[in-house]
With several copies, the nearest count.
Chain A
Amino acid sequence: MILVSKSPFDPGAEANRLQAAHTEAGAMVTFTGLVRSHPDDPITALILECYEDLARNELAAIRDAAMARFGLIDAAIIHRHGRLVPGETIMMVMTLAPHRQAAFDGAQFLMDYLKTDAPFWKQEETAAGLRWVEAKAEDGDAKNRWSR
């Protein structure tokens, strides 16, 4: 499942639903990304811009690549955009596999590719106004580890 939307979702319910759909899995990994506010530099919201058509296409391609590479039983990506406040869930990836290492590796692979190839752009909303979040060089490095 690939879901790109402005709507909130319930991460625990999504995980339970995916788990219940498969009985041959021995391992499930979820990653959830949350809006965090640093006490020393508080934000009031995170505003995500998205190119929806491209997001759906690229996330589907990343998911297919992970399924094949790690022999996953299933994988899902949910990603919100719009205005989110601290504590809200931004996105989630889930992997189901026969054994644990494939589930962990699949989830990390999905996150590493998603960070550099999924068309979302974050702005932090603070008392002083809006500021674009800069891409991290380490995200490109993390993705490159899978081509070694």
Chain B
Amino acid sequence: MKVLYFAWLRERLNRASDEITPPSEIVTLNDLVAWLRARDEALDLAMENPAIFKLSINARIVPGDTPIAGATEIAILPPMTGG
């Protein structure tokens, strides 16, 4: 499974994505974010205000309690500034 990072989050991490294999007890997107933060101090710091981020599975924005079963591409999205 791929995790994508964008904008200043990508810059803070010095990479645009990770290839991950989460353990089977990781059920939801929120579980996944907690697991990713626990193993990466830079990500943990960058996400200290987690409510500002949106999350996506397979290129659709979904709530954090969505199960990750079937996910091939996940993204952590800082506040958007399009338009």
**Residues of B close to A115: CB separation below 8 A:** 80-83
B71 at the binding interface (Cβ < 8 Å): no
B82 close to A120 (CB less than 8 A)? yes
A121 close to B6 (CB less than 8 A)? yes
Q: Mark B54-83, 1 if CB is under 8 A from A, else 0.
A: 101001110000000000000101111111
B35 at the binding interface (Cβ < 8 Å): no
Q: Chain B's interface: helix, strand, loop or mixed, by majority?
A: mixed
Which A residues have a C-beta under 8 Å from some C-beta of B? 33, 48-49, 51, 53-55, 57-58, 79, 90-91, 100, 111, 114-122, 132-135, 139
A54 close to B83 (CB less than 8 A)? no
B3 at the binding interface (Cβ < 8 Å): no
B47 at the binding interface (Cβ < 8 Å): no
Q: A51-B59, A54-B61 are in contact. Are A118 and B7 (CB under 8 A)?
A: no
Q: Mark B38-64, 1 if CB is under 8 A from A, else 0.
A: 000000000000001010100111000
Contact for A54 among B7, B8, B56, B78, CB less than 8 A: B56
Q: A54-B56, A54-B60 are in contact. Are A111 and B81 (CB under 8 A)?
A: no
A-B residue pairs, 6 tightest by C-beta:
A120-B82, A135-B79, A121-B7, A53-B59, A118-B82, A54-B59
